[in-house]
Amino acid sequence: MQAVGVNCLGVLDTFSSLDTIFIPKNRMKRPRKGYISFVTQSGALGLALLDLLATENYGFSKFVSYGNGTNVDEADYLEFLKDDENTKVICVYIEAVKDGKKFMKIASEVAKKKPVIIIKGGKTEKGAQAALSHTGSLAGSQEIYSSVFKQCKLIEVNTLREMFNLAKLFEKLELMNLKPKGKKIQIITNGGGYGILTADSVSENNLELPEISINLKKELKKKLAPIVTVKNPLDLTGIAKDSDYKFVLENCIKEKDIDILLTIVLPQTPLISENIVNLFSEINNQKKKPLVVISTGGDFTKFIKNRMEDQNIPVFEFPGDAVKAIKRMVDYYNKN
Amino acid sequence: MQAVGVNCLGVLDTFSSLDTIFIPKNRMKRPRKGYISFVTQSGALGLALLDLLATENYGFSKFVSYGNGTNVDEADYLEFLKDDENTKVICVYIEAVKDGKKFMKIASEVAKKKPVIIIKGGKTEKGAQAALSHTGSLAGSQEIYSSVFKQCKLIEVNTLREMFNLAKLFEKLELMNLKPKGKKIQIITNGGGYGILTADSVSENNLELPEISINLKKELKKKLAPIVTVKNPLDLTGIAKDSDYKFVLENCIKEKDIDILLTIVLPQTPLISENIVNLFSEINNQKKKPLVVISTGGDFTKFIKNRMEDQNIPVFEFPGDAVKAIKRMVDYYNKN
């Protein structure tokens, strides 16, 4: 992978240890090896995000900031990443497409092979004026861009946060070769309020919360404490132990009427131990259904989160972030 | 402040060092002193958020988790916080209001004195069913709740992330006694792409990006490098030094046609030093216009961010988060 564009702030390849970013490491942390690749027309944006996401345990494969792309453009980079086995999902920040026909041809081919998430700078008139000063880009009509992206089956997002939440979800699922069969979600939680907000978010995003089947209910009631109401969301309450999660997940993963296991773990309560990582990992390694975790908290929580992510379980900080990412992911696999 | 409700998981008062949360500190970090108070019907939700936000340099004043509120309800807590001088902004998580008439009377009085941000669990049918099992709350119609909140001038949000972004903004502005005169925003950046995405977000949120006046343009051109196009967003580019920000902010803060200074600082570039905190603080201490910062990155960035926040400058990680919070803040002061 060669970066030859003028105004190109750098290339990073964590697999070959190539690093042409001229920023000292005490200013910008380099991310660990991973399977997200990121192509950006804006250098500073790319570097700031790599720096942030490196501290959040994100792994990246290739990064390239190509600026005004004098002789290699966004489509060329996409084409390269299409066949890169270390790239499972591609993120793109773009202000304008250089050659529309070429872009459409290549982008559609790439999108057939792996998810491509794209954010467009200069969607509004004011933003477009700024893009003209920045990379000399004629940002063009947002309607046209959005319909081109849609036609090519690229996943357009509105915010950077949304982009990288979704990238994490795709990276883990693609690595595990896990695709949900549908949009039926079972919520399992040890915090009532979090379960409720997650249920609200699931409904608002037109995903489904199926009732727990009679047989599953019977099975779960055998071992769970009487305080637990066996419903969806399933609130294990603050007395939940690691083994309760294991028991519930093992039963739910066999259930026909559940496509995705959305599990909230608030590890503040002392009955949750770090062994929960191993238990979740065993479930995830069965590769039967996507297992997504929501976990909010400080140092201990982040320790658990990072270890789960190292086992290819995607973990999110807030219910809204997790559900929004799941929604886009379900729509993507539904169409592909 | 006395917590007597059954199912009450704890009370925290950072000013009197009262702490009745029965969770060890290695599992849940306590936040530092600050001026946000948080009333929550869900205990686990509250504790997880305190734990997270403590690691993000958030300061809290009072925290109370009141569960099913047997003899003290949400309105009583709001009434107490109304006159608490250490509370500048109140956050509320609620599943149902216990006594509608009492709540409306008290909430409207409180909202006249300080911003109250509220999130309602059980907005959807599925969420409401879960709330019934959780705190025995009849979650009721979301339309009625939303219109009651609106009538009482409470600020209703949809996600926890939105709630605490906004709480931070209000806390800092109220402490500095800074209210924007209008919705005209000047963006200053050292990253072109970030400036563009921020401009897009400002336009999408119906805030304004005024043109830079002829006089201000003349003034700014005197010292800025020729590569800098003097526009809004003002892109100082990767060569920006601390002193460039100081020069620009000092000029913009005097400008009649600017209400809010929205400044992007990507501190990866070596010409930014930690002295930028002092320079920003001097501007902020003039108390002329709200100064809001967007800063994305790892350890060095977070060091800068935390020090700025200690000087009552609100700092956000992503453009979308900052602009959304500004939008709600502008609407609030516009109505009050």
pLDDT of residue A138: 67
Judge: B27–A268 Cβ closer than 8 Å, yes or no: yes
Measure B120 CA to nearest chain A CA, in Å. 8
**Would you list the DSSP string of B10-39?**
EEEETTTTEE---S-TTTSPPPEEEEEEEE
Alpha-carbon gap, residue A45 to A6, rounded angstroms: 17
Q: Model confidence over B133-172: pLDDT tens digits?
A: 777 776 678 889 999 999 999 999 999 999 999 999 999 9
Three-class DSSP labels, chain A:
CCCCCCCCCEEEECCCCEECCCCCCCCCCCCEEEEEEEEECCHHHHHHHHHHHHHCCCEEEEEEECCCCCCCCHHHHHHHHHCCCCCCEEEEEECCCCCHHHHHHHHHHHHHHCCEEEEECCCCHHHHHHHHHHHCCCCCCHHHHHHHHHHCCCEECCCHHHHHHHHHHHHHHHHHCCCCCCCEEEEEECCHHHHHHHHHHHHHCCCECCCCCHHHHHHHHHHCCCCCCCCCCEECCCCCCHHHHHHHHHHHCCCCCCCEEEEECCCCCCCCCCCHHHHHHHHHHCCCCCEEEECCCCHHHHHHHHHHHHCCCCEECCHHHHHHHHHHHHHHHHHC
Task: Please name the member of A51, A201, A320 whose beta carbon is closest to the beta carbon of B297.
Answer: A51
Q: Model confidence over A81-115: pLDDT tens digits?
A: 999 999 999 999 999 998 999 999 999 999 999 99
Taking only residues 4 to 43 of chain B, the set having a beta carbon closer than 8 angstroms to any beta carbon of chain A reads 9, 23-24, 26-29, 40-43
Measure B177 CA to nearest chain A CA, in Å. 31
Together in a domain, B243 and B107: no
- C-beta separation of A82 from A109 below 8 A: yes
B5 occurs within a structural domain: no
Which of A147, A176, A205 is the C-terminal boundary of a domain?
A176
- C-beta separation of A60 from A49 below 8 A: no
A52 occurs within a structural domain: yes
Question: Residue A6: pLDDT band by 50, 70, 90 thresholds?
Answer: very low
A4 occurs within a structural domain: no
Together in a domain, B250 and B311: yes
By three-state DSSP, how is residue B252 classified? helix
Judge: B193–A299 Cβ closer than 8 Å, yes or no: no
Together in a domain, B143 and B75: yes
B215 occurs within a structural domain: yes
CB atoms under 10 Å from CB of A303, counted, come to: 14
Instruction: Tell me the percentage of chain A whose pLDDT exceeds 70.
Output: 96
A333–chain B Cβ distance below 8 A for any pair? no
pLDDT of residue B75: 95
Together in a domain, B195 and B272: yes
Which of A176, A198, A217 is the C-terminal boundary of a domain?
A176
Taking only residues 227 to 246 of chain B, the set having a beta carbon closer than 8 angstroms to any beta carbon of chain A reads 229, 231-233, 235, 238
Q: Model confidence over A12-27: pLDDT tens digits?
A: 999 999 999 989 999 9
Alpha-carbon gap, residue B312 to B308, rounded angstroms: 7
Which CATH number does the domain housing residue A223 bear?
Answer: 3.40.50.261
A307 occurs within a structural domain: yes
pLDDT of residue B126: 92
* Peptide bond just before B233 cis, omega within 30 deg: yes
Together in a domain, B329 and B202: yes
Which of B125, B149, B176 is the C-terminal boundary of a domain?
B176
Together in a domain, B146 and B198: no
A1 occurs within a structural domain: no
Q: Torsions phi, psi of B72, nearest 5?
A: -130, 125
More confident residue, B132 or A127: A127
Together in a domain, A44 and A95: yes
Task: Give the total number of structural domains in chain A.
Answer: 2
Q: Model confidence over B278-295: pLDDT tens digits?
A: 999 999 999 999 999 999
Together in a domain, A192 and A150: no
Residue B269: its chain A contacts at CB < 8 A?
A: 23, 27, 44
Most A CBs within 10 A among B91, B196, B300, hence the mutation to make, goes to B196
Residue A27: its chain B contacts at CB < 8 A?
A: 267-270, 300
Task: Please name the member of B27, B200, B269 whose beta carbon is closest to the beta carbon of A127.
Answer: B200
Low-confidence ranges of chain B (pLDDT < 70): 1-9, 138-139, 336
Structural domain boundaries, residue A61:
10-176
Together in a domain, A167 and A204: no
pLDDT of residue A134: 76
Alpha-carbon gap, residue B163 to B272, rounded angstroms: 31
Residue B40: its chain A contacts at CB < 8 A?
A: 193
A3 occurs within a structural domain: no
Together in a domain, B161 and B190: no
Judge: B200–A27 Cβ closer than 8 Å, yes or no: no
Alpha-carbon gap, residue B202 to B183, rounded angstroms: 10
Q: Which residues of B32-47 are buried (b: 16+ CB within 10 A; e: fewer)?
A: eebbbbbbbbbbbbbb
Together in a domain, B298 and B262: yes
- C-beta separation of A331 from A175 below 8 A: no
pLDDT of residue B8: 52
Q: Model confidence over A231-259: pLDDT tens digits?
A: 999 999 999 999 999 999 999 999 999 99
Together in a domain, B33 and B146: yes
Taking only residues 64 to 93 of chain B, the set having a beta carbon closer than 8 angstroms to any beta carbon of chain A reads 93
Residue A298: its chain B contacts at CB < 8 A?
A: 28-29, 51-52, 54-55
User: Does A228 score more than 80 pLDDT?
Assistant: yes
